[in-house]
Amino acid sequence: VSKAEAVRAIAYLRADGRRLTTARRMVIEGLAQTDEHVTADILARWIQHVHPEIHLSTVYRTLDSLCAWGLVTQVHQPHGAAFFHLAGAHEHVVCDTCGHIGDVPASEFDDLVKRLRDHYDFDLDIRHTALIGRCGRHAAEEARRRV
């Protein structure tokens, strides 16, 4: 995540003729400032810390709007609350054992997306769902246990 993504999101907002309210700016900048995968609650608490006058419900509504406009992506995961991201070029993998969330460039899925389109007439969209599996750490632990 980078500042550039925030600048781009704000530019899109303006190009659509929408107002850059404090809440909108705080949500975009908050998401741009972290590599963590933040839930609506965490984001709302950060923003309230800086701008106590912004209600939690305003933050939630702002997230909904930004998602609807395609500037922010909501990602669901199997355990725990959905998290939010500035719309960008990466997808997510979640470890079912330890909950670690990893970023994977969207281009890694290009072949799969193309094959599903060509062979199954299906347009895959994995932006809103983290893919579930197991991260490398546990394989190493198991190997140690087996010795």
Site residues, Zn ion (CB under 5 A)? 95, 97-98, 100, 103, 135, 137
Cβ at position 91, least distance to Zn ion in Å: 8
Is 87 or 113 the residue whose CB approaches Zn ion more closely? Answer: 87
Task: In whole angstroms, give the CA distance from residue 81 to residue 37.
Answer: 10
| Cα–Cα distance measured from residue 59 to residue 41, given in angstroms and rounded to the nearest whole number | 9
Q: Which C-beta is closer to Zn ion: that of 56 or that of 93?
A: 93
Q: Tell me the residue length of the chain.
A: 147
Q: How far is the CB of 53 from Zn ion (least distance, A)?
A: 30
Question: What minimum distance in Å lies between the beta carbon of 35 and Zn ion?
Answer: 8
Residue with smaller CB distance to Zn ion, 18 or 90:
90
Q: How far apart are CA 35 and CA 110, in angstroms?
A: 24
Angle (CA) 74-75-77 rounded to 5° is: 145
Q: Which is nearer to Zn ion, 82 or 135 (CB)?
A: 135
Q: Which residues contact 3 (CB under 8 A, 6 or more apart)?
A: 32
CB of 126 to Zn ion, least distance (A): 13
> Cα–Cα distance between 9 and 30 in angstroms, integer?
12
